[in-house]
Structure 1
Amino acid sequence: MSKTHLFLSPHFDDVVGSCGGFISRLSEKGEKVYILTIFGGDSLFPLSELANELHLIWGAETIVTTRRNEDTLACKKLGAISNFLPFPDAIYRKNSLGQNLYLTIQDFRTLQKQEDNMLPYEIVCSLKNNYNISCSTIYCPMANGSHVDHILTQKVGFLLKKEGYNVIFYQDFYYEQEENEIFNRLSLKRIDINLSDQELTSKINAFKCYKSQILCLFESWDSMEDYFNTVGSVETFAFFR
């Protein structure tokens, strides 16, 4: 019987950019891989100035639908199945008065708003109610970039681990150079996986599906490929001892 792996991705592209090579390896072995984007819900209007600016950069009026379609194609290239939960991205979330919670990029990386405190518990309930997670290995981000959505997804991993689920953390791509306090705070075993040429190629080809994000993240397609051919050729995971 093949094993089941559930990768929790804060946003569309996070898991593929962070673990795409390893996912390709799992798929080649015949194991079932599911990639679930936590903050894949619809935009909440009216959009903030920041959300409008990002939509212009991403180049699509119906950006959430575009990103869902990109993710479906990327996951398919890796032999994985994609899906998403209805929780909105931080750039769309609002308080009870309809005011946007996060107004700048810096807001995402400073302090989690009080209104988000219950989100990890709500996400865990949604996972339990809609997915058979008891037999899966569950992968969550280390949140080394300190993005609030990554931190909230990391907290989901801690809650699931506390309940006895098999949880592994993965290092978030794009933020590898930033301090990763999770290794200092917890007694975790670090595993670095060196990708084969075939696995790396599969990862890059899958990431190319995220056309709306590449110029925003890397400024050019060549820079994206250079990044994955160097930094992205090793994927890092952390296991509870």
Structure 2
Amino acid sequence: MRVTAVAILNTLLAALPCGPHCIVSPHPDDAALSMGGILMLLALSPAMPRRVLLTPFTRSIYAPGIPAESRTQEIVSVVRLQEDAAFASAVHAAYFPLDMPDASLRGYNDNTELGEVMDTDRSPGQLVSCLRAVIPSRLGVVWCPLAIGGHVDHILARNGVLSTVSADVVIIYYEDLPYAAGFDEATIGAFAQRVHENLQPLSIDIDSVWQAKLAGLRCYSSQLGKAELAAVEQAAVRRAIPPGKRAERIWIANGPIYVTLP
């Protein structure tokens, strides 16, 4: 009998605490890019508990897919909210945007947003307060970014989760795409160990839902172009075990496990 990716995920879910799963996506599109295939598989799983897609930084002026003359904060933010809500619906998740300004509205530029959090940035404390107010009680699992690539909003999202959830909540980290596609395996592994010294990789075969992942990414037409999609596919092929398939990789404090389809 062929073991399906859904069955493998059900096995993983059975080993995790009961309770809702909260997927933290720093911006609209981050979770879809980084773990959209896993979310599509989870939507097919009868064992999957309630899912919440929580997106902190939904106010923005960044939208390369929108004509330049229309890229006001109001228009861009509304479009990005609509795109994110459509993706949440596609993966059968409740949707909670936090309506916080992203780095482009907090004084960062393309270079400084990949560096240290500025002393004048008040969003770290605001984010923790928001997360405490909206993260479901009796939470089972939080999926959050490793913050590979060092984007300040990804760092804040990860650190906000670590400052908010109780010790009995399992945190599963996803590799931030497309950023992670630009790093070699040794660099990613070393980065994961700096986040948590016991983190080990778990590769999930998403070949059976690859087209569904691409359909989910098409929700974000204001954000994503050919370059981002090419980087995501490159990463998926690189993470596949055995070669020739596609996978997404997550990191969890457990023994090393590589999940593939026979």
Q: Same fold (TM over 0.5)?
A: yes
Q: Quote the residue 2:38 is aligned against.
A: 22
Distance 2:114 2:81 in 1: 24
Greater mean deviation of Cα atoms: 71-80 or 6-15: 71-80
Q: Report the TM-score when normalising by structure 2.
A: 0.73
Map 1:187-202 → 2, pairs under 5 A: 187-202=197-212
CA shift, 1:194, in A, is 3.0
Q: Quote the residue 1:34 is aligned against.
A: 52
Distance 1:40 1:225, change over 3 A: closer
CA shift, 1:76, in A, is 1.6
Distance 2:233 2:253 in 1: 32
Whether 1:134 aligns to 2:138 is yes
Distance 2:133 2:156 in 1: 19
Count of paired positions: 218
CA shift, 1:86, in A, is 2.0
Distance 1:152 1:82, change over 3 A: same
CA shift, 1:67, in A, is 0.8
Q: Quote the residue 1:182 is aligned against.
A: 191
Distance 1:209 1:108 in 2: 25
Distance 1:136 1:40, change over 3 A: farther
Distance 1:122 1:166, change over 3 A: farther
Q: Quote the residue 2:252 is aligned against.
A: 239
The match for 1:168 among 167, 172, 186 is 172
Q: Secondary structure at the match of 2:120?
A: helix
Whether 1:91 aligns to 2:101 is no
Greater mean deviation of Cα atoms: 165-174 or 121-130: 121-130
The answer to whether the 8 Å contact 1:10/1:38 transfers is yes
Unaligned stretches of 5+ residues in structure 2 = 1-17, 240-245, 255-262
Q: Quote the residue 1:113 is aligned against.
A: 118
**Identical aligned residues as a percent:** 23
Which amino acid counterpart does residue 73 of structure 1 have in structure 2?
A: A
The answer to whether the 8 Å contact 1:139/1:157 transfers is no
CA shift, 1:138, in A, is 0.8
Q: Quote the residue 1:96 is aligned against.
A: none
The answer to whether the 8 Å contact 1:140/1:167 transfers is yes
CA shift, 1:236, in A, is 1.7
The answer to whether the 8 Å contact 1:137/1:166 transfers is yes
Q: Report the TM-score when normalising by structure 1.
A: 0.78
Q: Quote the residue 1:79 is aligned against.
A: 92
The answer to whether the 8 Å contact 1:9/1:37 transfers is yes
Q: Secondary structure at the match of 1:143?
A: coil
Q: Quote the residue 2:25 is aligned against.
A: 9
1:7-36 deviation digits (Å, cap 9, x = unpaired): 111100000111111112222113222111
Map 1:41-80 → 2, pairs under 5 A: 41=59, 43=60, 51=61, 54-55=62-63, 58-59=66-67, 60-61=70-71, 62-80=75-93
CA RMSD for the aligned pairs? 2.6
Distance 1:55 1:201 in 2: 24
Unaligned stretches of 5+ residues in structure 1 = 44-50, 94-100
Q: Quote the residue 1:214 is aligned against.
A: 224
